[in-house]
Amino acid sequence: MVCAENRKVSKTGISEMRKLLDLIRTDRLTLLKKKRFEISLTAPLVGYIVLLTIIPVMYAIYLSLVDPSSNTLTIRHYREIIFHFQFRQAVFNTLFITLVGLSLELCLGMIMAVILSHSFRGRGVFRAILLISLGVPTIVAAANMRYIFDTSGLLNQTLLRLGLLRVPYDWTQGGMTTLMTVIAADMWKVTPLVMLILLAGIESIPVELYESARIDGASRWKEFWKITLPLLKPSITMALIIRGIDAFRIFELPLILVGRTEPVMSTYAYFEYFEAININTSAAAGTMLLIMILVTIIGYLRIVGTQEVVY
């Protein structure tokens, strides 16, 4: 009798489970039909990301961990690059260019954004001039910077005519001067992007906040520190993440300006692949660059937070 009741309960449970699974399938089909248009729009983007980003990244990670002679997993390639002097130099140069370049771009972009947030005659022309560099391809900008910072370039000629130099100076011979040259060239190209992001954030701040602060007797400096800067936190975060990723993977400018003199992570991986013909160590360097980017972005978001600003 008890066995019969247990069988009956078991059959009832199985039946209920089947009904639940059928209901889930029906809901999924209904959702797919309702969201058919949205899915058709996002499918190409998802396919693009999967085919040209996720799969190549995963394959690069695989190449960095496989021994080409035995097809076994190994960390030998990471040990090789870690003990390689040029790799350690590339890590330092990449971090230096990213941190110093981002700091200078953020400061300069903030100044230009604050200036352009005020109405004055010729603001549209001034804004258009500042945005010209964004339309110049990076490879073209790097070639132009080569003409400027070359030993016989425009910068040396100007300094010689002004009497500030006696002999031409080699700005790309190596050291901190070369790194600052790369930073200056990169700033010319991308600072307007930081300015645009910050300017959009400033123009989204309600004017009533500034009017209330002026009624209370706040100075322009206090308005900036107490209103503008705190409310710009989302825009600053966006600018730092976008530019941070771009700065970490900087490639054309250092490749054309300095070559092997001062390697960065991307040029180090490039030379390992095309000159040393070592695909695995090149993949390991690329994977290390990916880890650096992820650690930096996650660390920054954990420090500053991701909460939205409420006006």
Model confidence at 27: pLDDT above 80: no
**Quick check: is 239 in a domain?**
yes
pLDDT, residue 110, reads 92
- The SS3 assignment for 169 reads coil
Residues in the chain: 311
Alpha helices by DSSP H, the chain: 2-34, 36-49, 55-65, 76-82, 85-116, 123-130, 138-149, 154-161, 176-203, 207-215, 220-223, 229-231, 233-248, 252-257, 265-274, 279-304
The conformational region for residue 216 under phi > 0 = left, psi -120 to 50 = alpha, else beta, is: alpha
138 and 266 share one domain: yes
Residues 264 and 151 reside in one and the same domain: yes
Residue type at position 310: V
Q: Does residue 43 fall inside a structural domain?
A: no
Q: Position of tokens 């930081």?
A: 194
- Return the CATH number at 133: 1.10.3720.10
Residue 257 lies in a domain: yes
Please tell me whether residues 182 and 262 are part of one structural domain. Answer: yes
Structure confidence at residue 195 (pLDDT): 92
Calpha distance 248→250 (Å, rounded): 6
> What pLDDT sits at residue 11?
52
pLDDT higher than threshold 70 for residue 17: no
Pick the closest to residue 199 from 98, 127, 300, 301 (CA basis).
127
Residue 56 lies inside a defined structural domain of this protein: no
Structure token digits, residue 35: 């969201």
Whether 24 and 165 share a structural domain: no
Distances, alpha carbon 123 to alpha carbons 66, 118, 120, 196, 210, in Å = 57, 9, 6, 14, 21
What element of type H or E holds 232?
none
- The parent domain of residue 300 ranges over 85-304
**pLDDT 10s digits, 212-271:** 888 888 788 888 888 888 888 888 988 988 888 889 988 888 988 888 888 999 999 999
pTM, whole model, 2 decimals? 0.81
d(CA 227, CA 184): 31
Is residue 66 domain-resident? no
Which of 31-45, 47-61, 154-168, 176-190 shows the lowest per-residue confidence on average (mean pLDDT)? 31-45
CA–CA distances in Å: residue 99 to residues 104, 222, 232: 9, 27, 20
What is the residue whose two structure tokens read 């004017």? 207
Would 16 be classed as within a structural domain?
A: yes
Match 């490749």 to its residue by tokens. Answer: 255
pLDDT in tens, 168-211: 888 888 889 899 999 999 999 899 999 999 999 988 888 888 88
Contact call for residues 276 and 161 (beta carbons, < 8 A) = no
Number of domains in the chain: 2
pLDDT digits (tens, 9 = 90+) for 128-179: 888 888 888 888 888 888 888 888 888 889 988 888 888 888 888 888 989 9
